Amino acid sequence: MFKLDKTGKETVLYSFAGGSDGENPVAGLVWDAKGNLYGITSLGGASGYGTVFKLDKAGKETVLHSFTGPAGDGAEPMAGLTRDAKGNLYGTTVYGGSGTCKNGGLDGCGTVFKLDKTSKETVLYSFPGTESDGTYPDAGLVPDAAGNLYDTTFGGGASGAGTVFQAG
């Protein structure tokens, strides 16, 4: 992770080592009121399936959640997080969950998850892999004023070409 100031000077804020601290950060970051940054890695963590992390103003990284994989809470988050006014983080994983999609070891059709302020993770939705539903959410959740979340899926739907969905 890096910072680019107004003059174009780059400063590295954190270098991922791979493994338990996460690997391949692949999306935008979100701030909190204290100046902490939150993001995801698509790989690494305790099981190798990606993480949600926090980087404080001093540059200390903390893994808030490690995804457990295809049969669990998801695998390979690829889109940025969304943060609500209460400090909860929301995101998606491209693979994993309880769906029937088969992806050569990364089974499952993806999940929508919530991570509360205590780092407790809840799977809000697990894409089942049916024709009418989407598969592989990978774009990033967008909230509306009522707290509903919207996103797109890469596959699934009536023609297999993806969907726009509302979660929540």
Contacts with 48 (C-beta within 8 Å, 6 or more apart), sequence order? 69
- The string of pLDDT tens digits covering residues 39-53 is 999 999 999 999 999
Q: Tell me which residue of 139, 46, 140, 49 sits closest to 89, measured CA to CA.
A: 140
Domain segments of the chain as ranges: 13-167
Instruction: Compute the mean pLDDT over every residue in the chain, rounded to the nearest whole number.
Output: 92
pLDDT recorded at residue 77 = 96
How big is the chain by its Cα radius of gyration, in Å? Answer: 16
The residue whose two tokens read 């103003």 is: 57
The three-class DSSP label of residue 61 is: strand
Give per-residue pLDDT as tens, 21-32.
999 999 999 999
What pTM did the predictor assign?
0.92
What gap in Å lies between CA 90 and CA 105, rounded to an integer? 25
Give the H or E element holding residue 58.
Answer: none
pLDDT at 34 over 90: yes
Cα torsion through 143, 144, 146, 147, rounded to 10: 0
Q: Topology of domain 13-167, per CATH?
A: Neuraminidase (2.120.10)
Q: What is the pLDDT of residues 63-117, one digit of tens each?
A: 999 999 988 899 999 999 999 999 999 999 999 998 888 877 788 999 999 999 9
Band of residue 168 on the pLDDT scale cut at 50, 70, 90: low
Residue type, 158: A
Phi then psi dihedrals of residue 69, to 5 deg = 115, -170
CA pair distance 156, 127, nearest whole angstrom: 10
Higher pLDDT, 62 or 167: 62
User: What pLDDT score was predicted for residue 101?
Assistant: 87
